[in-house]
Structure 1
Amino acid sequence: MKKLTLIALAAILAGCNNDPEQTNDVDTIYTNATIYTVDNEFSTATAMAVKDGKIYAIGNEELDSLSANEKVDLKGQFVYPGLIDAHCHFYRLGQQTRRVDLTGTKSYQEVLNRIAEFHDRTGVDFIIGRGWDQNDWENKEFPNNYEISLIYPDIPVALTRIDGHAMIVNDAALKLAGIDENTVVEGGDIEKKDGKLTGILVDNPMDMVTAVYPEETREDQINALLAAQKENFKYGITTVDDAGLDRNVIELIDSLQQAGDLKMKVYAMISNTPENLDHYLDEKGIVKTDRLNVRSVKFYGDGALGSRGAAMREPYSDRDNHYGALLSSPETFKETAERIARSDYQMNTHAIGDSANTVVLKTYRELLNDMPDRRWRVEHAQIVTPEDFEYFDSDRILPSVQPTHATSDMYWAEDRIGEERMQGAYAFKKLMEQSGMVALGTDYPVEQVNPFLTFYASTARKDTSGFPEDGFMADQALSREETLKGMTIWAAYSNFEEDEKGSLEKGKAADFMILDKDLITMPIDEVPNLKVKATYINGEQVYQPTSS
């Protein structure tokens, strides 16, 4: 009996110790690390406590008094806020996993070879691909569709250039899209030579082909989003700004997030279509959850420099009497901007050429002059006339740039626009000094997903072979601290999310990545090869390499 009484007493005491009221202070404490908080002082800490997906405390000795469900010794590793890609195409990246990848091709013949391999493997009845860049070929002129039409007389083929602003299609695709020698579309070009179509479409005419693409299933869309998420987590990216989404994809993203299948945080820029504007500006308003933020409109001002579609004030230096083109008239742009200004939405406009930037910046300033804290963004701000820099500020008009564009274009950019216009091109430092900040992104799949290439291009202004030795327009390089801010807290600010993410401070989301090297002090030429050791969103580990 005495023995049974003791057992019963022990059971009672054990039950008391398991009282749900008596819980630990926090979920996890991370110790023995160098933590770059990216707070206002750019301070560092050695320990961080996380509770319910948020940072509970950060510092050093003061965490000793806390009890935790788990303590993690990071063994001297380095912690940074989760990276925010301020301009990318998240959904399009996922789509690309199911299409023929033409990035890195060194000739048109290599493009044809990859198409053949893809079609032999998949047997699809509409071949879609992306990634070719004639600037990387020995013959830098746009190709002709003669060979593709000969090889695939009945199967439509549509191959988008790396920048997304030009496309080569075969005759079957032209016929399906209803394009012939008499077709005229404003805001782009349907190339002809000797009166015959070459298969090259630049900017707006491309929409006629994409309109006849095979319809994606819901399963296709889900697989695309999950594939893109997996690729981003490998690089410590915890928020993506998707620059142009339609309502159906946005609603699918929300559904997958609510179900817990899509953990990536998404800042969605709605594509500028009448249907999207009517729904979000007039009916829905801002949509904000813990992982989704829908509050901006993506507008295309012009095309790309690589396809000579960027709208320039003076003719291109390497093509007589060619100016590129605005994709909408200035009047249409202003009407759309006025409509957005009457809403709570932000406007984010793609502007590459100096003419496009002038139109965008002057319209923004006119509309926003008496509207504080609108944070309208100029996406790319690639070639800016010297007198137009003064339009940027941190309150109304922000620059959003992608540093790897500079190191991708540096081999031919001056040939295209001339020495004088280069003074206002890829001017990230000048933009940052004028506005007080700059949001940084990759623009993948135009460029690679790897954000450490962004960091390297921003600070070293070189390609991965170390060219040029002194850096491309090195005076426009950002410091490492500025670059990290551009990929974290400044990007969060550009999304109206600086109070919830972008730095590791008490009360903010526990979105962070772990590296085994110090991004701020390591040899800069080693940065492109960095590997992320872990990625966390809301305190949950979403990525760990399969092998160290």
Structure 2
Amino acid sequence: MTPIRVRRLWTGLGGDTLDGCLVRFGRGRIESLEPSCGPWDFMFAMPSFVDAHCHLLWLGFESVFADLSWTRSKEDILGWLSRSPSPPGGEFLRGEKWDDSAWSPGALPTLGEMDAASGGAPVFLRRVCGHAALVNSASLSLMRGAGLDPGGPGPLIVEKPVLGFDTAFPPGSGTLSTALSTAVDRALECGVTAVTTTESGRHLEAYGSRGTGLLRASISVFREDLEDRLAEASGLGIRGMKIFLDGAIGARTAAMDEPFDDGSTGLEAAGEGELGDLIADCWEAGLVPMVHAIGGRALRLLDRAGGAALRKARQGLRSQIRVEHAEDLLSAWPGGWDTGVHLFSMQPNFVARWQQAGGMYETRLGPERARALNPFGPVLRAGFTLGFGSDGMPFGPLYGLSGAVGHPDPVLGLAMSEALEAYTLGAARISGFEDLAVPLGPGRPSDMALLSASPFEAPLDEVAVEGVLASGELIRLKGTRRGGGSP
């Protein structure tokens, strides 16, 4: 393969970079890193990004279905509904990514308003967090008929009926294939060459029939779709089971210690004994339990249940737990967390999008509680493995990095080198990509992100992804700023 010359190269260790480097690679691996004086093909090279927590098909759905991130009020939602033609064959009119924290005023539409605007077609509009959706009466009727309890009168539904919607009403194989292809392209454009993706069991056919090409994917499946099929999991290429203990701050369903601004206290989705058994069953099946826990109550529950499972675990069994999100971790710190057991999967883009002064977290929780969320620094300083992912809000590591280095409490944030490592080597480590969890050097896979400028020197909003090396193939890009763009 033709070598590439880069002005600066970060190997993945510390904050030092190599000035002027000729990168030789072949058969998907680095052959050598040699001094060079240009001319430069790219200004900055580094290990490729790894997104340790995403939903590839949901990412693709953002392009296949309507993108509602532009909405700024319920009137925008209702206006879009009234203008949208009804899908053929009684299919759902679907939209993604609306975020009422950006609305002014923030009131949601009523069920009557949703019915009037939609003209009778069933509607499913998923909130950006994936834990809430807006529906109409036609949707509620279809959901009940399919055995999916909406949990209330609507139009807002939360948690189980939202998470189970794609299982009850799976998109067609053509839609799945298009969504997956779109998502793979989007990931590569962001400099991402490997992901951990969580999917519905009904969506696995898309991975089997199409695959993910140059993008490596570690797949986990929602507990409800896997609990009775643990013995088959490894044969299906599944690495983890996703277990929910609570919801989301945006949907006011995270199990926080104190109430949200509306007086609600969030939801707890499992009991201690039940969770301990699930964790133990995962280990016996060779799976990694990936436990979604945002609020302090959920995190303490995981701490206790995980400890009990460890005490009962068969000697010699590989026993690791991925803690997903852990936003309110300081409420459960230091607890009984174990550096040899617990791997932290956290989302710095949440900080950039919602945790800054005056943001949605302040509105939901108040300034003091909001500021204490997402303690990346304490996790890293305590010796834990920290891997970053996006959860698709939005997908794009460069945007996420701005949250890690720009945390409202500097003690809880990271230096740029630490943040980059969490989004590369650390994310690879907790995702099971051990060959990507080591610094750049001869013999390592040549997966690299090629940037327009050094994140150590240039403002992140001026840095663009201009190329990616994935599985030995060089893809030149026009330049994706902030790894996919801000929301």
Q: Select 1:107's aligned residue among 54, 73, 76.
A: 73
What is the letter of the counterpart of residue 473 of structure 1? Answer: D
Please list, as runs of the form range in 1=range in 2, the aligned pairs for 1:288-437 lying within 5 A after superposition. 294-314=238-258, 316-320=259-263, 322-368=264-310, 374-410=319-355, 411-418=359-366, 421-422=369-370, 424-437=372-385
Q: Select 1:249's aligned residue among 189, 193, 203.
A: 203
* 8 Å CA contact retained: 2:43, 2:451: yes
In the other structure, the counterpart of 1:231 is 186
Q: Select 1:222's aligned residue among 177, 182, 198.
A: 177
Distance, in Å, in 1 between the alignment partners of 2:172 and 2:260 is: 45
The offset of 1:53, in angstroms, is 0.9
Please list, as runs of the form range in 1=range in 2, the aligned pairs for 1:111-510 lying within 5 A after superposition. 111-119=77-85, 125-178=91-144, 190-191=151-152, 197-206=153-162, 210=166, 212-213=168-169, 215-246=170-201, 249-257=203-211, 262-274=213-225, 276-279=226-229, 281-285=230-234, 294-314=238-258, 316-320=259-263, 322-368=264-310, 374-410=319-355, 411-418=359-366, 421-422=369-370, 424-444=372-392, 447-461=393-407, 472-501=408-437, 503-510=439-446
The offset of 1:305, in angstroms, is 0.8
In the other structure, the counterpart of 2:485 is none
The offset of 1:278, in angstroms, is 4.3
Q: In structure 2, the residue corresponding to 1:533 is in which secondary structure?
A: strand
* 8 Å CA contact retained: 1:103, 1:130: yes
Q: In structure 2, the residue corresponding to 1:377 is in which secondary structure?
A: strand
Distance, in Å, in 2 between the alignment partners of 1:308 and 1:418 is: 13
Distance, in Å, in 2 between the alignment partners of 1:318 and 1:184 is: 29
Change (3 A) 1:32 1:165: closer
In the other structure, the counterpart of 1:539 is 472
In the other structure, the counterpart of 1:31 is 5
The offset of 1:221, in angstroms, is 1.3
Change (3 A) 1:403 1:286: farther
* 8 Å CA contact retained: 1:167, 1:200: yes
Change (3 A) 1:115 1:142: closer
Question: C-alpha offsets along residues 130-175 of structure 1, whole Å, 9 cap, x if unaligned?
Answer: 2222222223344312112023342111112111111121111111
Change (3 A) 1:126 1:262: same
Distance, in Å, in 2 between the alignment partners of 1:323 and 1:387 is: 17
Question: C-alpha offsets along residues 487-546 of structure 1, whole Å, 9 cap, x if unaligned?
Answer: 110111112223345532222211112112111222xxx312422111111220234229
Distance, in Å, in 2 between the alignment partners of 1:373 and 1:266 is: 21
What is the letter of the counterpart of residue 352 of structure 1? Answer: I
Q: In structure 1, the residue corresponding to 2:334 is in which secondary structure?
A: helix
What is the letter of the counterpart of residue 261 of structure 2? Answer: D
In the other structure, the counterpart of 1:290 is none
The offset of 1:402, in angstroms, is 0.7
What is the letter of the counterpart of residue 273 of structure 2? Answer: E
Question: C-alpha offsets along residues 449-499 of structure 1, whole Å, 9 cap, x if unaligned?
Answer: 2221101111123xxxxxxxxxx2232221100011001101111122233
Question: C-alpha offsets along residues 258-282 of structure 1, whole Å, 9 cap, x if unaligned?
Answer: xxx72211111122135x3444x31
Distance, in Å, in 2 between the alignment partners of 1:41 and 1:134 is: 39
Distance, in Å, in 2 between the alignment partners of 1:456 and 1:133 is: 20
Q: In structure 1, the residue corresponding to 2:275 is in which secondary structure?
A: helix
Query: More deviation in 449-458 or 481-490?
Result: 449-458
Distance, in Å, in 2 between the alignment partners of 1:120 and 1:176 is: 16
Distance, in Å, in 2 between the alignment partners of 1:454 and 1:221 is: 27
Q: In structure 2, the residue corresponding to 1:139 is in which secondary structure?
A: coil
Q: Which has the larger radius of gyration?
A: 1
* 8 Å CA contact retained: 1:233, 1:543: no
What's the TM-score once normalised by structure 1's chain length?
A: 0.78
Task: Provide structure 1 residue ranges, at least 5 long, that are not aligned to the other structure.
Answer: 1-26, 65-71, 192-196, 288-292, 462-471
* 8 Å CA contact retained: 2:426, 2:437: no
Question: C-alpha offsets along residues 349-406 of structure 1, whole Å, 9 cap, x if unaligned?
Answer: 1111111111112222332357686442111101124453344444210111111212
Distance, in Å, in 2 between the alignment partners of 1:134 and 1:76 is: 40
RMSD (CA atoms): 3.1
Distance, in Å, in 2 between the alignment partners of 1:203 and 1:32 is: 47
Change (3 A) 1:33 1:500: same
Distance, in Å, in 1 between the alignment partners of 2:162 and 2:6 is: 54
Distance, in Å, in 2 between the alignment partners of 1:55 and 1:265 is: 18
What is the letter of the counterpart of residue 113 of structure 2? Answer: E
Task: Provide structure 2 residue ranges, at least 5 long, that are not aligned to the other structure.
Answer: 482-487
* 8 Å CA contact retained: 1:375, 1:397: yes
* 8 Å CA contact retained: 2:246, 2:293: yes
Q: In structure 2, the residue corresponding to 1:499 is in which secondary structure?
A: helix
The offset of 1:242, in angstroms, is 0.8
What is the letter of the counterpart of residue 264 of structure 1? Answer: L
* 8 Å CA contact retained: 1:437, 1:490: yes
The offset of 1:338, in angstroms, is 1.8
Q: Percent identity?
A: 22
Distance, in Å, in 1 between the alignment partners of 2:366 and 2:6 is: 52
What is the letter of the counterpart of residue 358 of structure 1? Answer: R
Q: Select 2:63's aligned residue among 97, 100, 104.
A: 97
